[in-house]
Every structure is written in structure tokens, then in C-alpha cells.
């Protein structure tokens, strides 16, 4: 006789909008978000001349940000030197904002290239910045197959957009 196992649920209401619309999106999801000019709705934290930063709506951890060029390209070879420098500067800026607002103990910063490399969106290169804390991997992923994200996307978005370079500079002095 089989044991009846109950279904475990983790409440994640922000996923509903994505799930409802992902099948209907034609083209690049990042380019679409960028073109809508509704940054708060799309969790676009900031834009620079050539790049932008957006919260990952399926975060690996609290504060998971993706930084990418505005121009649709799938490789660094397809980018100009100015675009590459701008992208790197924005990665550094977002890491600073995350350090100031969330106070992580460290970061995972990386790029997934191609389907075999884990890229969920293959056509538009993007850099993941994932804040990490000592002890943030606990029994939930191991025993329950569930990752707990402790803060809503709206709350993290608000904190990151209100965090200015001036504020961070004063704090360091």
C-alpha cells in the first residue's frame, strides 16, 4: 500500500503575473520589459546609458538582481567597449546597493550562457547578482525541496531604488 503524501505549498503570489503572461510574450522578455517604460511594474531598478538592472522575479535568494545591456545581444563579442564598461559599472553599483540595503555576507555573481549552461533566457546576455548570507542554505531546500525568500519583490525594489550613491558614500566615511 502506498503512503499518501500531501502536497506542500509555498505562497509566492508575485509569480502569478509571470506565469499568466509568459506564454503570450513574443520575442525577448527583457527587451519587452525595457520597452514598456513601466519600471516599477517590471522591477527595473535602474537604467544607465547602455544597461539596466532588474529584480529576478524567480529569485534564488532575497535581492537577486540581473544586470544586462539594453541592446539585445547574446554575447560580449556583440557589445561595444562602451557597453561593456557601462555593464561592469552597473554590476558594481548594484552590488553596492545590495551591500548597503541588505547587508549580505557575500555574493554569487555569474553568467549562464546557453541552455546547457543554465540560461533561462538564451538570447539576451545577463549577469546574475545573488546576495548570500552565512547559513542561508538550511534544511528547507534539502528536506523539503523549497527555497524560502524572506522579503517581497516590492519591498526589495523599493529599498534598492531609494538607495543612492550619495547615501552609500556618506555611510562609508
* pLDDT, the chain, mean: 80
Q: Please report whether residue 127 resides in a domain.
A: yes
Q: Please report whether residue 15 resides in a domain.
A: no
Q: Bridge partners of 131? A: 107
Is the distance from CB of 79 to CB of 73 less than 8 angstroms? yes
The three grid cell numbers given for residue 77, joined into one nine-digit string: 563579442
What are the pLDDT digits (tens) for 2-29? 555 555 555 556 556 555 555 555 788 8
pLDDT the model gives residue 67 = 96
pLDDT the model gives residue 115 = 75
The three grid cell numbers given for residue 159, joined into one nine-digit string: 529599498
Q: Please report whether residue 6 resides in a domain.
A: no
Domain extent, residue 72, equals 26-168
Q: How far is CA 144 from CA 10, 64, 134, 147, in A?
A: 10, 21, 20, 8
**Is the pLDDT score of 135 beyond 90?**
no
**Is the pLDDT score of 120 beyond 60?**
yes
Residues in the chain: 173
Q: How far is CA 47 from CA 53, 70, 90, 131, 160, in A?
A: 7, 9, 9, 20, 13
What are the pLDDT digits (tens) for 25-84? 578 888 998 999 899 999 999 999 999 999 988 888 889 999 999 999 988 998 999 999
Number of domain units in the chain: 1
pLDDT the model gives residue 1 = 47
Instruction: Give the pTM.
Output: 0.75
Q: Where are the alpha helices (DSSP H) in the chain?
A: 15-22, 29-36, 39-42, 81-102, 139, 153-161, 165-172
Q: If we measure between CA atoms, which residue out of 59, 114, 125, 122 comes closest to residue 91?
A: 125
pLDDT the model gives residue 80 = 96
Q: Please report whether residue 7 resides in a domain.
A: no
Q: Is 22 left (phi over 0), alpha (psi -120 to 50) or beta?
A: alpha
Average pLDDT over residues 89-112: 94
**Is the pLDDT score of 146 beyond 70?**
no
Give the CATH number for residue 129.
3.30.428.10
Average pLDDT over residues 164-172: 55
Amino acid at each position: 500500500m502506498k503512503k499518501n503524501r500531501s502536497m506542500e505549498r509555498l505562497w509566492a503570489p508575485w509569480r502569478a503575473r509571470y506565469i499568466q503572461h509568459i506564454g503570450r510574450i513574443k520575442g525577448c522578455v527583457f527587451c519587452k520589459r525595457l520597452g514598456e517604460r513601466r519600471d516599477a511594474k517590471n522591477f527595473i531598478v535602474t537604467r544607465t546609458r547602455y544597461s539596466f538592472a532588474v529584480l529576478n522575479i524567480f529569485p534564488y535568494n532575497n535581492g537577486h538582481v540581473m544586470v544586462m545591456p539594453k541592446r539585445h545581444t547574446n554575447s560580449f563579442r556583440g557589445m561595444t567597449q562602451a557597453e561593456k564598461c557601462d555593464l561592469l559599472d552597473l554590476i558594481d553599483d548594484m552590488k553596492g546597493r545590495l551591500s548597503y540595503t541588505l547587508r549580505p555576507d557575500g555574493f554569487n555573481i555569474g553568467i549562464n550562457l546557453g541552455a546547457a549552461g543554465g540560461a533561462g533566457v538564451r538570447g539576451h546576455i545577463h549577469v546574475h547578482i545573488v546576495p548570500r548570507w552565512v547559513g542561508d542554505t538550511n534544511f528547507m531546500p534539502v528536506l523539503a525541496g523549497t527555497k524560502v525568500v524572506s522579503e517581497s519583490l516590492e519591498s526589495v525594489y523599493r529599498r534598492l531604488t531609494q538607495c543612492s550613491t550619495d547615501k552609500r558614500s556618506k555611510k562609508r566615511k
